[in-house]
Structure 1
Amino acid sequence: MSSSLNGAEVTAAVTSVFAEADVVGCLHARDIDSGREVAFGADVPVIVASIRKIPIALAYACQAAVGLLDRTARHTITAVNREGGGIGMDSCLHDVTMSTRDLAFFMLSMSDNAATDKLMEILGTDHVRALVAELGCPRMPVGRYRDLWDPVWEELGIDADGDIDAQLEAVSEARLRGLAMLDPARSASSTPREITSLLTAIWRDEAGPAEACAEVRDLMSRQLSTHRLMAGFDNEVNVAAKNGALWGVLNEAGVVEYPDGGRYAVAVFLRTPALSGRNPAADAAIGRAARAAVDHLRHTPPLGAAPDLTETTCL
């Protein structure tokens, strides 16, 4: 990847990355300290999937920082919190007890849905919803797993208390693609620009108490996934991020920090032709597109402004 891309070159580079991976992509990258930006469909509504867990972690950290919540308090994940088929405690066969802090750790490090549900139970949906609205993400999906997924099962005619995987096998791809949950116009959503604004506020200690912002930054740096955003950057670059996936949706948002102090918030959202299964080309495209955008920001003159490279169209 060129280290001195101009505006036209970064447009071409990102367009090529998305085309080679056969995906539709939206991207926003922001220099946290100067405000310069690169934008591809930055204000297009997108399905955020598990990126919604970032503000949940922030809500937890803010309450802990002001003494309203005990990080060391013990909580038990039971069958009520588990849906099965997921990652971490979501697929445990027996009850698990851990601290409030470790629930947030499991939620961000491995995208544990059971941990997320337990934190939502502790924090309260109204509190988290108010926080995301205050931080400029008013349509961000907020709620426990069942709050978000029960409407999907109802739309598909699936018994939520039965074998969901077996029932899904009988659902056509066309019906899945037509789900309201996958349509930002009909469901909770955000935009790439809103997500990088949220990340910028966290990294500038403006999203809550400095202690809370620092804790979220630390938790995001512990994500186990390294094959999307992180894969686009060299080893000396620190990447703190959260990814997400749904049927035909792959995304990741985070902050990349260079040894020279440069800090860049990046959010990449993709729609893929296949609804499920591994997609190494799309995974890699997230890192490659992010790298092109960050390279551009790092070599834009400080007094210049990186152009908004598209208005409403994902490339």
Structure 2
Amino acid sequence: MTESVDIRLHVRDIDGDGETGSGADDQVVIASILKVLLVLEFARQAAAGQLDPAERVVVRAADRLGGWGLAGCADDVEVSLRDLAYFALSVSDNTAADVLLRRVGADVLPLLAAELGLARTRIRGGPRQVLESMFADVGARDAAEFAAVYPGLPDGRRRALRVFDPAHTTSSTPRDITRLMALIARDEAGPPEACALVRRLMGTQMAWTRLRAAFPAEVAVTGKTGTLPGLHMEAGIVARPDGRRCAVAAFAATPTWDSRRLDVDLALGRAVREAVEKLHGPL
């Protein structure tokens, strides 16, 4: 394992009672893994006829947040709600997630978490609230000012940002997150069509250097990453060719602030594979 990487993880048998992990009940920042819960709520509302997934919205300059996807568009973009869900899970699009969250209602996500028995999951807003807390904590007025100020901050000041503290940002535990993944896998997190949509969209995720890189091609891996400086994470579903399935969640923290650490991504994936093989035997 990469030196100085602290990994907390949990793996559970989706169709049985087996489980294994380390730090499975520790409170951890979940960052963009929250988007799974968001898209699940969207899919449930669509299945119930509470919204039309083909409904169109216009994403304007004021809606754009940092990251991939719609944030990089120079012009207004008209897109459907279901395509916002696609972008949120496929490329972890913060703008798409924020616009979708406004449509489904930010206040319903804590209720959904409680309904699903995610007792340790704490939701404190969506991507916009995360960014706004980061700006406020360094005294920046906008993303450009934050980008100029943040690299020069001493380590202690960086670590004091609320976004890195599970007590002050959206957080959960590895065990709660594998429960969510298992419920989605078993069609128990909502109507079967809603769960199937979430699984399909998780399967379109472009990031591959964490969970997917750790398993051979014949193992089906669907997942959702989360990333912040010094934090690498992913949750998902691992399905072996013999039909055995695991829900997995892993959270890696490093003492450095570079989020482009392939070695950390690979270490996280290896730790999950070792746990899966401990539970279900060698692949």
Task: Give the equivalent residue in structure 1 for 2:14.
Answer: 32
Deviation at 1:21, TM superposition (A): 4.0
Deviation at 1:161, TM superposition (A): 6.8
Is 1:125 aligned to 2:128, yes or no? no
Deviations 1:254-288 (A, max 9, x none): 00111211110110101012112421111001110
Deviation at 1:247, TM superposition (A): 1.8
Task: Give the equivalent residue in structure 1 for 2:84.
Answer: 103
Deviation at 1:130, TM superposition (A): 1.2
Deviation at 1:164, TM superposition (A): 2.5
CA distance in 2, matches of 1:26, 1:140: 18
Which AA in structure 2 matches 1:213? C
Deviations 1:239-260 (A, max 9, x none): 1100011121100010011121
Task: Give the equivalent residue in structure 2 for 1:313.
Answer: none
- Show the 5 A alignment for 1:198-209: 198-209=180-191
Provide structure 1 residue ranges, at least 5 long, that are not aligned to the other structure: 1-16, 301-315
Q: Is the 8 A contact 1:29 1:38 kept in 2?
A: yes
CA distance in 1, matches of 2:11, 2:180: 12
CA distance in 1, matches of 2:52, 2:241: 34
The partner residue of 2:130 within 124, 145, 148 is 148
Deviation at 1:142, TM superposition (A): 4.5
Larger Rg: 1
Report the 3-state secondary structure (helix = DSSP H, G, I; strand = E; otherwise coil) of the residue aligned with 1:256. Answer: strand
In the TM superposition, structure 1's runs of 4+ consecutive aligned residues that sit over 6 Å from their partners are none
Task: Give the equivalent residue in structure 1 for 2:169.
Answer: 187
Q: Is the 8 A contact 1:255 1:266 kept in 2?
A: yes
Q: Which has the higher contact order (CA 8 A, sep 6+)?
A: 1
The partner residue of 2:248 within 240, 259, 266 is 266
Which shifted more, 147-156 or 117-126?
Answer: 147-156
Which AA in structure 2 matches 1:188? T
Which AA in structure 2 matches 1:117? D
CA distance in 2, matches of 1:188, 1:124: 16
CA distance in 2, matches of 1:299, 1:277: 32
Task: Give the equivalent residue in structure 1 for 2:270.
Answer: 288
CA distance in 2, matches of 1:24, 1:283: 12
Deviations 1:35-82 (A, max 9, x none): 200120000000101101000010000001111111111111112220
Task: Give the equivalent residue in structure 2 for 1:50.
Answer: 32
The partner residue of 1:94 within 72, 75, 81 is 75
Is 1:136 aligned to 2:127, yes or no? no
Deviation at 1:173, TM superposition (A): 2.6
Q: Is the 8 A contact 2:178 2:249 kept in 1?
A: yes
Task: Give the equivalent residue in structure 1 for 2:61.
Answer: 79
- Root mean square deviation of aligned Cα: 1.6
Task: Give the equivalent residue in structure 2 for 1:236.
Answer: 218
Percent identity between matched residues is 44
Provide structure 2 residue ranges, at least 5 long, that are not aligned to the other structure: none
For normalisation by structure 1, the TM-score amounts to: 0.85
Which AA in structure 1 matches 2:101? M
Which shifted more, 150-159 or 87-96?
Answer: 150-159
Task: Give the equivalent residue in structure 1 for 2:236.
Answer: 254
For normalisation by structure 2, the TM-score amounts to: 0.94
